[in-house]
Amino acid sequence: MNKKRVMKWLNSIVTTVLFLLLITVATMVITTKISGGDPEVFGYQLKTVLSGSMEPGIKTGSIIAVKPGGDMTRFGKGDVITFKEEDDKLITHRITEVINNGKETMYRTKGDNNNAEDLNPVLSDNVVAEYTGFTIPFVGYFVNFAQSQNGAFLLLIPGIIVLIYSGITIWKTVMALDSSNKKESKESQDNRVTS
């Protein structure tokens, strides 16, 4: 009987965690769509890596966490930064040299997997964030798909199914525990009456 109770509790915990994870992901996707920006968690922005220029450390299709804000002239050689190019395209590369001419700070950058440095130095004003070292490989493919119109629609259906299943499972578990508690309470009362 105790083994069944443990399994029910374990099932309930797993279902609750999955339910909370679903709500968190849905909230992130909705707030990202509303704000028009990248998902943000505890002040860190999540970016999808679309090229292999930083492999093997950062694989194509990975999600990376970057920390925006602060003094963008603070970086040194070896730091990995995310910056905007002229066409507002975001790039994450490693600093190979800091150029300080008194008025401006600029960085020479290079992708770890590239043979040569980037053509143009990066102005500190164009630096968006610093890479934190946090990477989840291959999840970026899923996130990009989820943010597309087709992906959002296709993910909505399984999301609703998981939500309904989670609700039913939690309800069944609560009812079973309630029934079990009532049964134990009645048995303990019966034992007291007969003794």
Catalytic residue among 12, 35, 51, 124: 51
pLDDT at 178: 74
* Mean local confidence (pLDDT), 62-73: 87
Domain ranges (residues) in the chain:
1-37+148-181, 38-138
**Three-class SS of residue 47?**
strand
Reading across the β-sheet that carries 63-68, which strands appear in turn?
40-41, 44-48, 63-68, 127-136, 80-84, 90-100, 105-110, 122-123
pLDDT at 127: 93
Give catalytic status of residue 51 as yes or no. yes
pLDDT in tens, 127-184: 999 998 888 787 766 666 666 666 666 666 666 777 787 778 778 877 877 777 777 6
pLDDT at 38: 65
pLDDT in tens, 80-125: 999 998 888 889 999 999 999 888 999 999 999 999 999 999 999 9
Pick the closest to residue 47 from 146, 149, 143, 150 (CA basis): 143
Q: Quick one: pLDDT band at residue 13, thresholds 50, 70, 90?
A: confident
- 121: preceding bond cis by omega (within 30 degrees): no
Any idea of the CA torsion for 26, 28, 30, 36, to the nearest 10 degrees?
-160
**How many residues would you count in the chain?**
195
pLDDT at 30: 64
Pick the closest to residue 124 from 101, 141, 147, 140 (CA basis): 101
Q: Quick one: pLDDT band at residue 31, thresholds 50, 70, 90?
A: low
Please check the confidence at residue 193 and state whether its pLDDT lies above 60: no
Q: 111 versus 42: which is more confidently predicted?
A: 111
Most confidently modeled range among 4-8, 42-46, 70-74, 166-170 = 70-74
CA angle 97, 98, 101 (to 5 degrees): 135
* Mean local confidence (pLDDT), 54-80: 88
Please check the confidence at residue 1 and state whether its pLDDT lies above 80: no
Measure Cα distances from 190 to 8, 158, 186 in Å: 26, 47, 6
At the second CATH level, the architecture of 38-138 is Ribbon (2.10)
Task: Specify the pairing of strand 80-84 against strand 127-136.
Answer: antiparallel
